[in-house]
Structure 1
Amino acid sequence: MTKVILGKKVGMTQIFNDEGDVIPVTVVEAGPCSVVQKKIEEVDGYNAVQFGFEDIKEQRINKPLKGHFEKHGVEPKKYIQEIRINEDEGYEVGEVIKADVFGNGDKVDVTGTSKGKGFSGTIKRWNFSLGPKTHGSRNYRLPGAIGAGSDPARVFKGQKMAGHMGREKVTIQNLEVVKVDPEKNILAIKGAVPGPKKGLLLIKETVKG
C-alpha cells in the first residue's frame, strides 16, 4: 500500500540526533485523514482514493458536498484531495489514516503551494542580469528587447517576462522523516517544504527506482 497523507505545515525548528548533530526540520500536522471515496477503473476509468482532512462544521459546506459526505458515511472535511493509486491498494471508504503510517527514516515527496510573491520583474522572477550602470545608462532592471526581428516579427509564446511570481504547485522529493509523534499526529521532516505556515501539504512515500 502506498503511504500517503494530507497535512498542514506548522513551522520549522531543529532537533538533535543521537550523535548530537543539529537537524533542521519542518513540523507537519499530518492527519488524521478519512478515505471519503474510492474510485476503480471498471466504474470511473481509473484507480484513485479521495482523502478528506480537517473537520469542518456541517453548515460551512454546500449541499452537493454535504450529500457527498453523507453518501459515503464520512464526517464533513475542510480539504478534499484525490490521489491516484494502484488497483491492488488496500484503502477502504471510512478508513482513517494517521501520522503513524510513516516511520522514522522513511523517504517522502512533499507537495504544496509555494508562497506568493506578487508582481515581480524579470531579474527577480527569472534571474536576468542587471543592465550596465555606467555612461548614463538607465536600464538597470529593464528586460531588453523581446521581439524576434522582421521574421517572424512576433513575440514567441513562453517569453520570460515580468509577472506574477510564486503560488505554484511545488514538490520537494526524497525528504527524510526524522521523527513521528502518533499521539499528536506530528511528522518532523528534514529540511524545508513548500508553502507558508498552515499551508496544505500532500506527503507521499517516495517511489524507489
Structure 2
Amino acid sequence: MSGIIGKKIGMTSIYGADGRNVACTVIEAGPCVVTQVKNEATDGYKAIQLSYDERKDKNTPKALKGHFAKAKTTPKKKVVEFRDFREEFEGQVKIGDKIMVGEVFKEAEFLDAIGTSKGKGFQGVVKRHGFAGVGEATHGQHNRLRAPGSIGACSFPSRVFKGIRMAGRTGGDRVKVINLQIMKIMPEKNLIVVSGSVPGAKNSYVILEK
C-alpha cells in the first residue's frame, strides 16, 4: 500500500465539479525521504520506510542519527513504514530518495487518512457515547440529567458486564477515515486538499494511504 506522511494545516471549502461547496482539509504532504527499503530476502516482506519533518540534532538519539546518516539526510521527527508500495516504485526507489505528493496521488482519486483524534480528557456518557440522560428534571430529579442510569442487575448476575459504555477518557485514539476524495494537489507547495474532515488537531501528523 503506497502512501505519504503529512501534517494537517486546517480546513477550508472549495467548489466541486458539480458546483457544490465542499468542506475540505488542507494537508502539507511531504516531501518524504526514503530512509530504509525492505525486501523479502532479508526482512521477509517488502516495505519502504519514509521520514518526514525536520528534527533538532540535539534531540535525536545516537542510534537514530546513524540511521538517518545512512540515508544521507537530516534527522526527522516522523518515521512510517509502508508495506507493499506501489508496483511502479518497486526497484526504482533507493535510500535517500525524496517522495513527492504528486508522485503518489492524482486529483480526483480517493485515499484513506490516518491520524490521532483530539483528546477530550475524562468525559461523561452524554458526550462520550451520546446518551440522552435519565430524563426530565421534574418529579424530584435535580441532578440526574446527564447520568448514565442503571449499569447492572442486582442478585443476578451480581456484577457489571465487561465493555459496558461508561464515562472515561475520550479521544486521543488512532482513527482511520476512508474514501476521501482528492480535490486539489499543489505540488509546488507540497499541499493536498481532500474532501471532508481528517482526524487530529492542526499541525498534527497524518498518514495518507491509497
Pairwise CA distance, 1:18? 5.5
Distance 2:85 2:14 in 1: 36
Does the CA contact (< 8 Å) of 2:2 and 2:86 recur in 1? no
Give the alignment partner of residue 192 of structure 1, picking from 191, 197, 207. 197
Give the alignment partner of residue 170 of structure 1, picking from 175, 200, 208. 175
Secondary structure of residue in 1 paired with 2:145: coil
Mapping of residues 1-209 of structure 1, within 5 Å: 2-17=1-16, 20-85=19-84, 90=90, 91-101=93-103, 102-132=105-135, 133-137=137-141, 138-205=143-210
Secondary structure of residue in 1 paired with 2:42: helix
Q: What do the CA deviations read for 1:177-202 (whole angstroms, capped 9, x no partner)?
A: 11111111010111111111101000
Distance 1:38 1:175 in 2: 28
Pairwise CA distance, 1:84? 2.0
Secondary structure of residue in 2 paired with 1:174: strand
- TM-score by length of structure 2 reads 0.88
Pairwise CA distance, 1:123? 1.1
**Please, which runs of 5 or more residues in structure 2 have no aligned partner?**
none
Distance 2:109 2:51 in 1: 23
Q: How many residues align?
A: 204
Pairwise CA distance, 1:143? 1.5
**Please, which runs of 5 or more residues in structure 1 have no aligned partner?**
none
For residues 139 and 86 of structure 1, do their structure 2 counterparts lie closer, same or farther at Cα, with a shift above 3 Å needed?
Answer: same
For residues 200 and 152 of structure 1, do their structure 2 counterparts lie closer, same or farther at Cα, with a shift above 3 Å needed?
Answer: same
Pairwise CA distance, 1:20? 4.6
Provide the aligned C-alpha RMSD in A.
2.0
Please say which of residues 186-195 and 143-152 is displaced more in the overlay.
143-152
Secondary structure of residue in 2 paired with 1:116: coil
Q: What do the CA deviations read for 1:58-79 (whole angstroms, capped 9, x no partner)?
A: 2221111112212333321111
Does the CA contact (< 8 Å) of 2:28 and 2:192 recur in 1? yes
- TM-score by length of structure 1 reads 0.88
Does the CA contact (< 8 Å) of 1:9 and 1:197 recur in 2? yes
